[in-house]
Amino acid sequence: MKFNNRNVFVSSKAKLGRNVRIGDNSVVYDNVEIGDNSIICDQCVIGEPLASYYKEMDYTNPSTVIGSDALIRSHSVIYAGCTIGGSFSSGHHITIRENTVIGNHCSVGTLCDIQGNVKIGNYCRLHSSVHISQTCSIGDFVFLYPFSVMTNDPCPPSREVKGGYIGSYTQVGVHVVILPGLQVGQNCLIGANSVVSKNVPEFSLVMGDPMRVVMDIRKYVVMGKGRPYPWMNRFDRGMPWEGIGYEKWMRQRNDLQ
């Protein structure tokens, strides 16, 4: 059956690349640009207008860009003003609000909720039900697990918006809370259910509420696995060093620079 354009609405002001397919009952609003070979599944809304759309006669929908080779699963909502790189994939029922910028090769799992003005690097993976509040930012190769949350209001309620930052390669466990405005260094592992309440130096293993830096992650020994962190030498699925190894990839990269 594949895609058969049943009740699909694409604005005449949207630009679809070659071989883009749009699922049943999906809506693509003005000024959305979708790269070649991308797939939008059923019941999605792409280029969701901002609130002023409903009030201002002369509203123009901000430009939305989705790169090539995307796979966006059903019931997802991506706001106008977002820019998403190539090879993006999503789960179902995701929401990405306005002016969010996401790099290449990222995935955003089912029920994720990315508030506006968020910046996410390349090769990041948000598993299901991750909540990122406004103005937070995330490096490259960062993974967040279900029910983890980055907050941004240090003294709620307030008009302050202080999103934090997560450094590249860091892993954020299930049910982790990152309090507003904090910096988590590169290559950390934040254990399940921790509350990050101060800045975290790179290579930290963090646990607990209140959090403690338990040890340098490079010294962390797991029975039968040796020292599994940093993880890049033992995991490569979907990473740019897949098949060649992280060290070799880094050398090639450095040689090119």
Residue closer to its own copies, measured from CB, 225 or 254: 225
Q: Determine contact, residues 13/30, Cβ cutoff 8 Å.
A: yes
Q: Applying CB under 8 A, does 21 fall inside the site for its own copies?
A: yes
Task: Quote the least distance from Cβ 176 to its own copies, whole Å.
Answer: 9
Q: Applying CB under 8 A, does 225 fall inside the site for its own copies?
A: yes
Interface residues for its own copies in 238-257 (CB under 8 A)? none
Task: Quote the least distance from Cβ 257 to its own copies, whole Å.
Answer: 26
Task: Quote the least distance from Cβ 11 to its own copies, whole Å.
Answer: 6
Q: Applying CB under 8 A, does 156 fall inside the site for its own copies?
A: yes
Q: Determine contact, residues 43/57, Cβ cutoff 8 Å.
A: no
Task: Quote the least distance from Cβ 55 to its own copies, whole Å.
Answer: 9
Q: How many CA atoms lie within 13 A of 199 on its CB side?
A: 8
- Compute and round to an integer the Cα radius of gyration of the chain: 20
Three-class SS of residue 156?
Answer: coil
Nearest-angstrom CA–CA distance, 172 and 255: 31
Nearest-angstrom CA–CA distance, 40 and 71: 6
Q: Determine contact, residues 101/78, Cβ cutoff 8 Å.
A: no
Nearest-angstrom CA–CA distance, 109 and 160: 28
φ, ψ (nearest 5 deg) of residue 89: -135, 150
Interface residues for its own copies in 73-102 (CB under 8 A)? 73-75, 77, 91-93, 95
User: Which residues contact its own copies (rule: CB under 8 A)?
Assistant: 1-2, 6-7, 9, 11, 21, 24-25, 27, 29-30, 39, 41-43, 45, 48, 51, 53-54, 71, 73-75, 77, 91-93, 95, 110-111, 113, 115, 125, 128-129, 131, 133, 143, 145-147, 149, 151, 154-159, 171, 173-175, 177, 179, 189, 192-193, 195, 208-209, 222, 225, 228, 231, 234-235, 237
